[in-house]
Structure 1
């Protein structure tokens, strides 16, 4: 059985008279490999809140971490890997997160660099080739 959340279902989807949900927005990634892409974000500290269908290969996964929400949905159109999508994910320590991902076979697109605005940033690719920037405070 799946957990129901506002991030995972549009208003009125439950079919009942639910309390009004707050208006908000969250990124929706279109992925050819929904389960693998969701697992990638779980390695970055996101928690799976909902999966549709609840068993088997998902067509939709709703995730959250702290106040951030993210949805991964089955791609309906082909696109070039490394296309225009990019996520920016804050992690505790860029170097440690990058090493964990590298050890898991995640492609590294850019090694960590200290930015002038005080963040350390590295880039990796999720399973569908989407660019993901990992960031943490520089020197921390």
Structure 2
């Protein structure tokens, strides 16, 4: 049985990936290879989870690629707005869901869909 999972996003441009995942989303670098020079692999700490970025020439993503990354953030509206100001496409504007989350969707520089979410208080069934 599976003990844990570690998603790795293959990217064609590590600098652009780091500007999105590290700089714009505020993750922390916990590992990079090689340690000096241009990295070909980076592990990022995203809250209690980790995400890998691996340089892969010709890597493609985008809508329909079969992958969605999901991040819980402190403020969906502000995070979405900050990413839009930085030039990243907003796929879905922030909205409340019937199951009790506020969500939006953005795209990374390569078209990978990234869901931003936050639990709403109170939950709809608690109102």
Residue equivalent to 1:60? 41
How far apart, CA to CA, are the structure 2 residues paired with 1:139 and 1:56?
Answer: 45
TM-score (norm 1): 0.75
Q: Distance in 1 between matches of 2:31 and 2:19?
A: 13
Note the aligned Cα RMSD (angstroms): 2.0
- Alignment partner, residue 75 of structure 1: 56
Q: Which position in structure 2 is the counterpart of 1:124?
A: 106
- Determine the structure 2 residue equivalent to 1:100: 82
TM-score (normalizing by structure 2): 0.81
Higher helix proportion (structure 1 or 2): 2
TM-aligned CA deviation for residue 139 of structure 1: 6.2
Extract structure 1 runs of 4+ deviating beyond 6 A: none
**Structure 1 runs not aligned, ≥5 long:** 1-22
Per the TM alignment, residue 34 of structure 1 is displaced from its structure 2 partner at its CA by: 2.0
Q: Distance in 1 between matches of 2:61 and 2:111?
A: 8
Deviations 1:26-79 (A, max 9, x none): 111111112321331222231011111223332111011331110011125543
